[in-house]
Chain A
Amino acid sequence: MRALIIDDSRGMRSILRRMLQQLGFNTEEAANGREGLDRLQQNGAPELVLVDWNLPVMNGLEFIRAARADRAYDAVPLLMVTTETELSQITLAIESGANEYMMKPFTQEILRDKLELLGLPVGGMVHV
């Protein structure tokens, strides 16, 4: 399974990459929404996209709206991963097309729960 991580923080991409690999995913990365769309066009739809909200060039919400507007990506599971924790923002992300929302900080168990909520088979070990 393939997951696309879109985050401008190299450290956060590294954390997510490690966790996803332990859960059985191969990963690819982008540093903003525009790069994320480019990856989708280059490599096709992955099984999962994780996208931060606050990004340069094109933010996460704009990315989600652009992806959902393209029939090639309208069914890709989108998980927003962000420090934004207000109810109004969560609602906006879901209404814009995010399937799930993961607030930072998070643990590997929380990521695993989110993937299960998205109906994705998760393998590997959970470290507690």
Chain B
Amino acid sequence: MPSDHATSFDFVRTLVRKHSGIVLGAEKDYLIQARLQTLSRKEGFDSINQLLDQTQALLDQLDEAPQNGLRQKVVEAMTTNETSFFRDRHPFDCLRNVVLPDLLASRAAERSLHIWSAACSTGQEPFSIALLLREHFPELHDWQVQIIASDLSSECLDRARLGRFTQMEVSRGLPTPILAKFFSRQGLDWVIQDDVRQMIDFRRLNLLDPDLALPQMDVVFLRNVLIYFDKETCQQILGSIRRVLRSDGFLFLGGAETTLFLDDAFERVPLSQAGCYRLKHCYTDRSN
């Protein structure tokens, strides 16, 4: 049982590492503090001014009743991250101008596409993909297109499934003509059209699960995920991605991420700032 605040943070670090694989270094103490504060309030533990005592109380209760759901809530509180529509723009330009034209040609016979947004948070990334498909690829209307969006956090997934966003959220990265075309106003929020929402299959998945129950994927978005893991865990996750990615599929990583020194099966597609990778043998295979 934690006995002081430093120990409390260590306790959280150990808990999060064990159940999500995410490494929270000492420099993330501010994040642990801020997010436990929010969770403590939400769960009705005392007041804001007694933050650290509340944290202690939360963890004490957690120790006594590990199965009461609080453990998952603590882990989820540490793993939810910022997201926005069409975040960083370049990967979506690459998806539109390079990846989808390539796949439209190579999948013309089977007429199916499988796209996975791993660690989708509150849904902006998979909705950006769906909106891009709807806006720019009308020829896909009679294809079987599956967009799977996963996250560790049930709370994020519950939000994402609603397709409901605040004014601030739709103001980040979403082109206004797209907002006007595919969203409606409900109270102070903006809600995405049902037919776009229904393009996405939201699932709770832990990337550390050795047996990810997923179909073979043509495109995987794993952006701003690896930065939270240590090298060994990154290698484990990239190994899982390799198993679900089709041999000529595409992997998108975040701008600060790379497969270099982690998994030499991948190589970067030479497109500036797109963070796009393919399996090395795919070019050889396709030229044969």
Q: Which residues of A contact B (CB under 8 A)?
A: 85-87, 90-91, 94, 98, 100-103, 106-107, 109-110, 113, 116-117
Contact = CB atoms under 8 A, between A and B. Distances in A.
B185 A110 contact: no
A87 B176 contact: no
Given A113-B84, A116-B89, A87 B185 contact: yes
A75 to B, nearest CB: 17
B177 interface: yes
B167 A91 contact: no
Interface residues of B, number: 15
A117 B167 contact: no
B171 A113 contact: yes
Closest 8 CB pairs of A and B: A101-B176, A110-B171, A91-B180, A113-B173, A87-B185, A90-B180, A100-B176, A117-B175
Contact of B185 (A86, A94, A98, A107): A86
Contacts of B183: 87
A100 B171 contact: no
A16 to B, nearest CB: 15
A113 B88 CA distance: 9
B179 interface: yes
A107 B167 CA distance: 12
B168 A90 contact: no
A106 B180 contact: no
Nearest to A89: B180
B185 A113 contact: no
Contacts of B177: 94
A85 B167 contact: yes
A113 B184 contact: no
